[in-house]
Amino acid sequence: MVPDSVDMYKGCIEKMGKKVKEYLRNETNAGGFFEQAWTKAEKCASKNYSVNQKLDKLSHNHIKAICAYTGGQPKIYPAFNQAVRTNRTEYTTSFQFHSLHFLLTDARRLLKEKQQGCHTTYQRTNMEFAGEVNKEIRFGLFASSSFLKNLTHFGENTCFELKTCFGTDLKSYPEMGNYEKEVLSPPYEVFKVTAVLKKENDENLWCDVVYKLKSINTLSNVNCNIFTKPTINVGARGQYLHGRIKNVPDLIWLLILPSN
């Protein structure tokens, strides 16, 4: 169930909120595409902050993190999500995205405070996955989905219908505004596969294969670990990041795995 994911900050939000200032300074001064994405996100963040600061509790940097994550060039989310999904052992030493990870996690939390209940959302991909009914899964990354079912440019091979109870409507904060009606689910949310539907059995199905997932719990393996082990902040080293981003598919990078 993606055991190597970097996940949450339950019980240490305020402490990490202070620590993240140091991480952000180091990671945006180290070169590479994170620094570029963060700089380019300023226009989006300034616009959204001036319009929405009275509606939500998000800081300028919270909004800037959403803008950077959802921005077009350079695309940061593939390498970021790959690191989030696999860097458990590097989390307290050479993890490259402490600032973006915390700011996205905290922005999701703050937005969710005003969003009651669960959301039904949809996710499309051209990739292939394997999953069985009643298996529990955790994406282990920030999973983007949409209130819209018809975003066919993202794919028609394998799709997901999610009932996410921890996913947050990003509203108009993304780089493209509310055009894609994006919902962001956290790495620690656990789902159960409730159905697997196939177009070969229903020609009117909206995708070749549809996995229906229902949120059932959360699972964290490194909650607040940043304060329990020695930490080395090396910043966002361009060589590592540029080498990883080219090999990760756009939008979604996940696997359906049976629980152990």
40: Cβ–Cβ under 8 A, 6 or more apart, which residues? 68, 71, 73
Assign 256 to helix, strand or coil: coil
Place of tokens 């919270």: 62
What is the pLDDT at residue 39? 94
| Domain presence at residue 137 | yes
Q: Could you give the C-alpha distances from 176 to 52, 131, 182, 184, in angstroms and in order?
A: 15, 32, 10, 15
| Domain presence at residue 257 | no
What is the pLDDT at residue 229? 54
Instruction: List, edge to edge, every strand of the sheet that includes 158-164.
Output: 136-138, 189-198, 209-218, 158-164, 119-125, 143-146, 182-185, 168-169
| Domain presence at residue 83 | yes
CATH number of residue 239's parent domain: 3.90.176.10
Number of domain units in the chain: 1
CA atoms of 3 and 255, how far apart (whole Å): 12
**Domain hosting residue 75, numbered range:** 13-222+234-245
| Domain presence at residue 5 | no
What is the pLDDT at residue 125? 94
| Domain presence at residue 256 | no
| Domain presence at residue 228 | no
What is the pLDDT at residue 200? 97
What is the pLDDT at residue 112? 94
| Cis, peptide link before residue 78, omega less than 30° from 0 | no
Per-residue pLDDT of the chain (260 residues; tens, 9 = 90+): 556 555 678 888 999 999 999 999 999 998 888 999 999 999 999 999 887 766 788 999 999 999 999 986 788 988 898 988 887 767 767 788 999 999 999 999 999 999 989 999 999 999 888 889 999 998 889 999 999 999 999 999 999 999 999 999 999 999 999 999 999 999 999 999 999 999 999 999 999 999 999 999 998 777 887 877 544 444 433 322 222 222 333 333 344 433 33
What is the pLDDT at residue 192? 96
- Record the pTM: 0.84
| Domain presence at residue 229 | no
CA atoms of 137 and 45, how far apart (whole Å): 33
| Domain presence at residue 260 | no
Residue 110 exposed, middle or buried by CB count within 10 Å (0-12, 13-18, 19+): middle
